[in-house]
Structure 1
Amino acid sequence: MAIHTRSEEAAADKRKQRKVLYQLLGRLPDRNRPIAAKLISTEETDELITEKLLMDINGLEPVPAYFTRPKNAQGNVPVILFNHSHFGQYHVGKDEYVKGRKEMQSPPYALALARAGYAGLCLDSWCFGERKGRTELDMFKEMLWKGQVMWGMMVYDNLRALDYLQTRPEVDMKRVGTIGMSMGSTMAWWLAAMDERIKVCVDLCCLTDYQALLEEKGLSLHGIYYYVPDLLNHFTTSQINALISPRPHFGLAGRLDPLTPLKGLEKINRNLKEVYQREGAPDAWQLKIYDVGHLETADMRQDIMAFFKKWL
């Protein structure tokens, strides 16, 4: 009879949970279909090389993206999969990564990460940036008819983005992180929960406890993309995030942010502290709450970069 250690049993249980979570994401394209990327243009500054790509990752529509890397990097470098936010500004998309936005600090993350020695990748999500031809609501409705889940389609694209990163010779796939704000925050912790290739997760201003959001009557604060059919019958926010443990995970939130009710943040923090303690990594989970609303402050940016430097 085989003897399984507690850690092996926990790992097997997480694999089962990831399978269930993936199945909730609707009818997705083949997870193993061939992918490709076409280089559209390259721009160079003294610090940064920026490639604009057109990617074939879902077989349904081309996915524009930016891949960036430090100009003078030597050897393989760590990489951050950056997830852009929503803010109802569908024209922005991946440009948030290279150009920034008023709700976030300067410099934009592409440059900030390059200065710290990281490469980066950011896609236009469905309905954003160069994919903004149709409204989010129309896209959601059509996908629903087809058995697709809009959030699932977004997650799928980013999982395939990780597959693409494996083809980049300058990338160290043992040092992959992910970060995002708002919608991008939710994407960061979903991706880290789904895929162990992500070694460090940072989520900014959207670690939302589902039940607390219901209690606060805050469902209208999140876009329609956010809602996954049948999810609450299988997972809490804490249970999804527990799939990241024991990998390093830093959550940042605003005390005055209605998108992340404080009661829910406290619940998630209690639950994840227990999980990380049980799995022998009590220092790898951190939640920090700042006296702000739904935005990134200078202190947040400093703390984020310090977390990546420590763990990645």
Structure 2
Amino acid sequence: MSQNVVSNQTPPSKAEQRKVLYQLLGRLPDRQRPITVKQISREETDELIIEKLLLDINGQELVPAYFTLPKKAKGKVPVVLFNHSHFGQYAVGKNEFIKGRPEMQNPPYALALARAGYAGLCLDSWGFGERSGRPELEIFKEMLWKGQVMWGMMVYDNLRALDYLETRPEIDNKRIATMGMSMGSTMAWWLAALDERIKVTVDLNCLTDFQALLEDKGLDRHGIYYYVPDLLNHFTTSQINALIAPRPHLGLAGSLDPLTPLKGLHKIDENLKKVYASEGAPQAWQLKIYPVGHLETAEMRQDILAFLKKWL
């Protein structure tokens, strides 16, 4: 066939691309199944209300979570769906949101967000926190046998968390953001790509270009949960993130971070600049690279809160 033949085929719409991306996530529970929630405890400090919840959202395993609210909140408030990181520290999970971790700045994000006027929600992901009874690899293998994808089940829980947030009377449903570090960063951009209810996205230290990671022989740097069957035959990292446009999206990365090869970061940045410009929102995409490794610096924290203040 001549190389000069121009295809008249219409590129797939974002809705069609989202459908394909979601289908790659394996056999998932019904998105319409009822959600039930039990409040385990409620704690108040001078600045913060912390509810510990137990959610039945997937029908297979109960999901512990923290919901937080500024103590002096009046009327409906914006909310941040916070996604915890991995670090091979399975016992931490959602406690990262409330208690922080050494790789992140103080105060922990629950309090930092409350001081900025935001509510927050953070789930224990599969294999973490109060769900850490079984090894990650065992969960992955069992799910694989059942036609499930571990990452898909993790994403599903957080998509249903958005459904739950819409039922909270305190929440302004038109002002929902998502963010996270490391594994939580990847979760943030997947969620925003799949669900337009998320209006602002912040990913910290895991905007990894898949091809650059392959070229860098770096696949072992990410956990087994990260790998979605058949993904590379359909999407690049840039193509998934393009589904977020033109909604505001801040990526933060360390130039010395082995999880995000620098060549790949530049490729994503170049691609998304074009996408956001073509959709009339060139200022809504930002990638900031700092001379650090896999951690959050004080400057990063300042930039994240400023981005949320501007766009959320």
In the aligned structure 2, how far is the partner of 1:288 from the partner of 1:147? 38
Q: CA deviation at 1:256?
A: 0.2
Q: CA deviation at 1:36?
A: 1.1
In the aligned structure 1, how far is the partner of 2:194 from the partner of 2:235? 13
In the aligned structure 2, how far is the partner of 1:86 from the partner of 1:73? 31
In the aligned structure 1, how far is the partner of 2:271 from the partner of 2:163? 31
Q: Does 1:265 align with 2:265?
A: yes
Q: TM-score with structure 2 length normalisation? A: 0.96
| Number of residues of Structure 1 aligned to a counterpart in Structure 2 | 303
In the aligned structure 2, how far is the partner of 1:161 from the partner of 1:34? 12
- Report 1:52-63 matches (<5 A): 52-63=52-63
- Matched AA of 1:199: K
Aligned to 1:309: 309
Aligned to 1:4: none
1:198-248: CA deviation from partner (whole Å, max 9, x where unpaired): 000000000000000000000000000000000000000000000000000
In the aligned structure 2, how far is the partner of 1:131 from the partner of 1:182? 19
Aligned to 2:7: none
Q: Which runs of 5 or more residues in structure 2 are unaligned?
A: 1-9
In the aligned structure 1, how far is the partner of 2:39 from the partner of 2:211? 44
1:37-73: CA deviation from partner (whole Å, max 9, x where unpaired): 1000000001000000000000001000000000011
Q: Does 1:73 align with 2:89?
A: no
In the aligned structure 1, how far is the partner of 2:127 from the partner of 2:100? 19
In the aligned structure 2, how far is the partner of 1:117 from the partner of 1:166? 18
Aligned to 2:117: 117
How high is the sequence identity, in percent, across the aligned residues?
81
In the aligned structure 2, how far is the partner of 1:36 from the partner of 1:160? 11
- Matched AA of 2:62: P
Aligned to 1:253: 253
Aligned to 1:217: 217
- Report 1:25-104 matches (<5 A): 25-104=25-104
1:69-120: CA deviation from partner (whole Å, max 9, x where unpaired): 0001100000000000000000000000000000000000000000000000
1:125-184: CA deviation from partner (whole Å, max 9, x where unpaired): 000000001000000000000000000000000000000000000000100000000000
- Aligned structure 1 segments of 4 or more residues deviating by more than 3 angstroms: none
- Matched AA of 1:269: D
Aligned to 2:231: 231
Q: Which runs of 5 or more residues in structure 1 are unaligned?
A: 1-8
Aligned to 2:6: none
Aligned to 1:191: 191
In the aligned structure 1, how far is the partner of 2:267 from the partner of 2:147? 33
- Matched AA of 1:123: L
Aligned to 2:18: 18
2:198 is paired with a residue whose SS is coil
Q: TM-score with structure 1 length normalisation? A: 0.96
1:260 is paired with a residue whose SS is coil
1:12-41: CA deviation from partner (whole Å, max 9, x where unpaired): 700000000000000000111001110000
- Report 1:273-284 matches (<5 A): 273-284=273-284
2:80 is paired with a residue whose SS is strand
